[in-house]
Structure 1
Amino acid sequence: MTPSSARIEMIPISDIAVANPRVRNAKIHKTITDSIDQVGLKRPITVRRVPPGQGSTPYALICGQGRLESCKMLGQSEIAALVVDVDEETGHVMSIVENVARRTPRAVETLEQVRVLKQRGYTDSEVAGKLGCTPSWVNNVANLLERGEKRLLAATEAGHIPLHLAVSISRASGSEAQQLLLDAYESGELKGRKVTVVRKILEQRERSGKKGNNSFAKGPTRRQMSPEDLTKLYQRDVDMHRRIQKKAEYTQKSLLLARQIFKELFASKDFCALLKAEKLGSIPQPLAELAPRGGYAR
């Protein structure tokens, strides 16, 4: 039998050996498991038949380790498999080809399915149920599709940038800002939450008109910003917030000290007598509240 004449069979999971198991990404594996649990196995795994006496099990896995493990976790005893009669070397080559092409269906087919279903009025949850993915993933992809962000989608599908960060970058003002943020992320200048923070900083600068030194200012003297400039911009913002925090902490400590001083003064009979002698009969209510009962007479 050749691969082209292979057929799909239901075979016991215990009869399949995984020759070269790979460590799975826990988050991705959970998504696969949830999908199979909700809508079933959409694509059979591929196995090769092991000749008698050459292995401990009748079948060896070619591709579909994640699906196989998910079915095990869900307590299933059998799995749909495309059974091919090939030797071990050919099976290994087929596995490599499958791994290389793994991203193609989502990049081409699934994204198109999201676009079509959203155009037909389906909600994110309904689309997720049909495609076996999460509503948040559908929402993020739909946002990028609506904005025409093919470049960011391509970067996401290639694994260069997480989907949620692609959405954050797409909300930046102008294509140059988006390109800067993407370059900064891919070069390692900005990571994780920093991308979102810098995007907000750029948008604030745009709204406030502070364009003198960035790439969005118009005129012959404008200078193109680099990922390093974005990092410095982020650091300046962090430093500013740290200064504000220090001032706030200093003010709070000063107020607590003043409160304690007034509280001790109001407890002093001599101080209260001095206030009366100077005819200071009224003081601010917050200070008056510090006076102990029986102390300063208001």
Structure 2
Amino acid sequence: MNQIQQVGQVQMVPVNKIEVINSRERNSRVFNDIVVNIKTIGLKKPIKVTKRLASDGTEKYLLVCGEGRLKAFKSLGEANIPALVVDVSDEDAFIMSLAENIARRTCRPLELLTGIRQLQERGYTPKSIAEKTGLNPHYLTGILSLLHQGEERLVVAVEKGLIPLNAALTIVGAGDDDAAVQAALQDAYESGKLRGRALMDARRVIDRRKTLGRSASRVMSRKTSDVTPSSLVRTYQNEVARQKAMVRKAEFAHQRLMFVVGALKQLLADENFVNLLRAEGLATLPKYLAERVWSGGNSV
């Protein structure tokens, strides 16, 4: 990367002359907080831009850092914004913007994680990317591996903490072998990385990956003309299989509930057992169970 030279003072730059080179979607609540904060106490930190010449010979600026603050100024109707002007190339401006966005986020959205791959495609090594973004080199290597294999759904799950990175890589290595995927989950469970709700979340992610595909995008990437009768049949069969699995789980849960209700009815018919419950202060049941065990209340 070229040596960056910063101008010694902040300049007031017209907001309509600033071009965003690495735009990203923002949480509306967080953005509204930025707007209110700037409106109340002003801009605490100037944005960062680099100067360019437009095709008509006039001055324009490329945004390096501060898209949220820039949008907030625009929404407040401001014509100018304080900006620190740096002298960098187009590529360096893009890299600086991308690296800063990635490094800033605690839980990085997929679009920023994909930016890691863009950095690698521009010739940056995983080590240099880790240095620029502040990410752990081991984590970075694993994420790059998942991204290169199109495993967007697993990448998002790893970022949200639903699946450990090592387990995600093992799942990818298992390919379409369900037994190997389940073995990866079992290993994560036995090692203590996936327990309780985390294990349920991981299974849900894997089921969605199998049914909906590896991409996390909600928009179909294929054109309508690519839809074939066989793909429709496959989609229908997958949905039928999913619905059948849900029915089986519901039936199993219902059977267990009926067993519990039956057992409680038999136990509560024993006066000695009821007296023991009262003596121990256990004379009530959750409303859901009480309504099924007896009528007229939820205590013995």
Q: Give the TM-score category using the shorter length.
A: 0.3 to 0.5
Report which of the two structures shows the higher radius of gyration computed on alpha carbons. Answer: 1
What is the TM-score when the length of structure 1 is the normalising length? 0.37
